[in-house]
Every structure is written in C-alpha cells, then in structure tokens.
Chains A and B, each alone.
Chain A
Amino acid sequence: AQSVTQLGSHVSVSEGALVLLRCNYSSSVPPYLFWYVQYPNQGLQLLLKYTSAATLVKGINGFEAEFKKSETSFHLTKPSAHMSDAAEYFCAVSEGRGYQKVTFGIGTKLQVIP
C-alpha cells in the first residue's frame, strides 16, 4: 500500500532563509509524487509533481523537489523564503494504476518569520 510521511508538522524559517520540507514515501511500484500548497481558508493547489521524466522538478513560486529513489524521498525546497510562502504544504503519492487514489500526508505548516 502507498503512503507518505511528512516529517515536522510545523516548520519555522526566517524570511530569506532556505525552506526545506521533508517527505518520504512508500510504494510497491514506481510512484508519482506531488506537492500541494494550501493558503489559509482556501483549497489545495498543485505546486509541482514528479512523473519520472526528471528527478529534479521545478514548480511554481520558486519551489523545487528532488526525487531520490534510494532514500524514498521527495523533499521540497526553496532557496529563499518569502512572507507569502506561509501556508500548509502537503506531499502526496499515487501508484499510477487503475482507479488508484492519491494518498496525502498530514501536512506541514510553514511559518515565515520577518
């Protein structure tokens, strides 16, 4: 069965500092991996996704994530945090078979300190 683990339900960074949000996955087949972002009082929106075309994936708003099969990880990074990055971030996995569903992690709330 597929699953994702997000390490750290809350992460605080200073404005301008590196953002690193951790995600590890478990899947019996090569997975498709996603990061979604949720701003306060809104639904989720796709930030980026890994589809096996390239291990380093670039997304919107300067975020990127690297797929590391040996570490079963898909960590999200941004070189320099901005106040507008404060949101909740969800990692998700799909095994890409049939009517499979996407499994979401519990989310990481990012706080950006001025």
Chain B
Amino acid sequence: DAGITQSPRHKVTETGTPVTLRCHQTENHRYMYWYRQDPGHGLRLIHYSYGVKDTDKGEVSDGYSVSRSKTEDFLLTLESATSSQTSVYFCAISESSGGPHHTQYFGPGTRLTVL
C-alpha cells in the first residue's frame, strides 16, 4: 500500500470555525490532490499540487485553500467552515500528471461534519 496518511480521520466542528486537514505521504510523489466525496456527486477535485509551493484550483475550490511547503505534506484549509462542507475528504498522490503511467493512490479519508 502507498504510504499516505490523513489526519484527523474524523472531525466535528462548528460553522464559522477554521479547519485544517493534513495529508502526509512517504512515496516522494510529485503530484498531490484533495477531493471531496458526496453521495450523487462521486469524487470532485478541490485543489491539486504539482510541486512544492505549486498548486492549482479544481472544480470545487470555493471556500478552500491549500498549501504545500514540503513534498510530503499537503494541507487543506477551510477558512470558515459551512454545513455544505460536511463531506468525506480524500487525499491522493501520483508520480505523473497523467498519461499511460498515471495512477492515483488514495489515503483513507477524513470524515468532516460541520454543525
């Protein structure tokens, strides 16, 4: 199994509070991704990173920010959590950005509940 950990695994917070989720990898993969998974929507990309300090927005980036100061860590921050951000969040990593060798490896997920 790819070495990907997410912390925390479960979190309950209140509307308006800031929340930071952490993804840590031991594979030295260049690319990292944050997704959210919601019933009826599948996985939707929030942000991704193609190197240290290099990040870009995905399709559902509003209300989220990310940072990557080291290859191994990719942080997702909800500046002011809202109930619509209640979801399961997955981190993924890949060696390549795409093409025939592209495979994403997923972490175990973080279940976030915003009350």
**Partner-B contacts on A (CB < 8 A):** 9, 32, 34, 36, 41-46, 49, 51-53, 90, 94-102, 104-107
Contacts and interface: CB of A to CB of B under 8 A. Distances in A.
B98 A32 contact: yes
Given A104-B42, A106-B42, A94 B106 contact: no
Contact of B42 (A32, A41, A96, A105): A105
A45 B4 CA distance: 12
B100 A46 contact: no
Interface string B61-101: 00000000000000000000000000000101000011111
A45 B106 contact: yes
Residues of B in contact with A, size category:
20 to 34
A49 B103 contact: yes
Given A9-B40, A107-B42, A102 B99 contact: no
Main secondary structure, interface of A, reads loop
A106 B41 contact: yes
10 contacts: A42-B109, A43-B107, A46-B105, A49-B100, A49-B102, A51-B100, A99-B97, A101-B33, A101-B45, A104-B35
Given A43-B108, A44-B90, A99-B97, A32 B43 contact: no
Given A42-B108, A96-B102, 12 more contacts: A32-B100, A44-B90, A44-B92, A46-B104, A49-B100, A51-B100, A95-B98, A96-B99, A98-B98, A99-B56, A104-B43, A106-B41
Contacts of A32: 98-100, 102
Nearest to B6: A43
B58 interface: yes
B42 A44 contact: no
Nearest to A105: B42
A100 B109 contact: no
Given A49-B103, A99-B56, A43 B90 contact: yes
